[in-house]
Amino acid sequence: MSRTDDANWWRHAVIYQIYPRSFADANGDGIGDLAGIRRRLGYVRELGADAVWICPFVRSPMKDFGYDVSDYRDVEPVFGSLDDFDALVSHAHSLGLRVLIDQVWNHTSDQHSWFLESRASRDNPKADWYVWADPAPDGGPPNNWRATFGGSAWAWDGTRHQYYLHNFLVEQPDLNWYNPGVRAALIEVGRFWLDRGVDGFRLDVANFFAHDRSLADNPRRPADLARPAGAARDDPYFDFINRGTVSRPETWEMLGEVRALMDAYPGTVALGEISSAEDSLASAAEAVRGRDRLHTAYNASLVSDEPFTADGLRRLLDQMLASFEAPHLCWTFGTHDFPRLKGRWALHRRHDDDTEARLDRLLATLLLVLPGSCCLYQGDELGLTQAQLGFEQLRDPYGIANYPQILGRDGCRTPMPWTDAHPGAGFTDADEPWLPIAAEHLPLAVSRQQADPASLLNAWKRLLAWRRAQPALREDRLQPVDAAATVLAFERGERNRMLCVFNLSHEAAVHRLPGGWKMDPEASNLATLPPGGLDPLHLPGYGCAIAHRR
């Protein structure tokens, strides 16, 4: 498969996210690896995805499981070798799958050679490669900025007698993106992987790259200002409006060098993560504005602790239409950083099996008909719930530091259940995987669902195949349609028009249809059509209907 077969493949792609430690273990040590991913790529292809995004597998002390990079150009041995990675890319391409890999360019590990040199003195060649600042007059941190993982965002270094900025763990010092040498070095890192055949990058916390050089304090959050989408209710990080480090306007201007790199490799894509922003959709729009920033970005606008409402989704789509020049955004219900969708929504525990199955299929259909691309996190196609772990089972430093107020990310990172067999569920031959496999996940195993035509996994397969065949979904147009209070309705496409109707309530609803529409049974989850046809359209609780213009 050539990169240039379809240079704009990313605009409407379905990207399957793989968390390497938890996807498939080929060598029996209880930790997933690159060889395991390669062996399971056929599953991803059969599912119907266009690309895989693989979380970090490069050299790292693993304080944050790969997001603390000590060498950008080599593979951490627990995951394999560069030869294993090359074999993975080659196999993916033979299956028609593109490969995106994580690039963690906001920070490094404190064990990276760059930081070891930077902290050695104030006048060495890399002295300004990280964000250093003198103490406040009282000897404390320079300002009140907080780290996302808890505590001050500043750590004291006894050699330089200065503080360094770390927006995440203390072992993850922030790079100084204002230094052109830093940006040039990172561009060379990108070139290294592009030359190995990758089709693009997912840029970790891309809206954190710049900081306020005045080091002004962040203001406290007013009591009447809601927390951002995806923010845990009890997370003290969001007691402040973190404008000193998050979604700075300077960041967007710096992205031109990243885009120039990708443009030198036609058919590749830069997918940015928008994290911890006050308005994640607005920040995503800034990240992709024009032709000298990122190609696309994903954000937390669909990551909610509360069930979606038709009104809330209408407002979201209105904002998208007003903010984006074109829908260059990637939608997702969750990633390795958020509780599982079915763990967030209590709805999934209150309804009978038929209603729950309709809700599962409604959510899948909704994700797949929104304009742009979308990301599906491993296991969500199985309907995995959030695994409940005891404190002694936790591995996530964020979860450990904030327990029990915030349970962290381990519950969404437990291994994939490929089979229902104990103890390794087809993930590993080891007696104990790195995180336990939840007992409630075994009945949802891939082997069981593949054999059940009515399973959620097979529903996803059918919907992904259906999506690929819809010309309306390759056109950018979305036009909202008036509907009842609990119903979200919009049209997709221009030359090829599609009507999408979603009942976001467990109660039945009615939607009036103008003439000339024909129901699409493949993507609709209605049990039967009313005797009188489509007008009015009767929607059961969490029913959805897709229709095409005759």
Residues known to be catalytic: 204, 273
The DSSP code sequence of 99-159 is EEEEE--SB--TTSHHHHHHTT-SSSTTTTSB-EEPPPTTSS-SS--B-TTSSBSEEEETT
Contact of 153 with 166, CB cutoff 8 Å: yes
Question: Could you give the CA distance from residue 277 to residue 335 in angstroms, rounded to a whole number?
Answer: 16
Count CA atoms within 13 Å of residue 397 on its CB side. 18
Cβ density class 85-112: b for 16+ within 10 Å, e for less: beebbebbbeeebbbbbbbbbbbbbbbb
SS3 519: strand
Residues contacting 55, CB < 8 A, separation 6+: 17, 18, 19, 20, 66, 102, 336
Count CA atoms within 13 Å of residue 235 on its CB side. 24
Contact of 24 with 39, CB cutoff 8 Å: yes
Question: Could you give the CA distance from residue 420 to residue 532 in angstroms, rounded to a whole number?
Answer: 45
Residue 414, amino acid: T
Question: Could you give the CA distance from residue 325 to residue 371 in angstroms, rounded to a whole number?
Answer: 12
Host H or E run for residue 256: helix 256-263
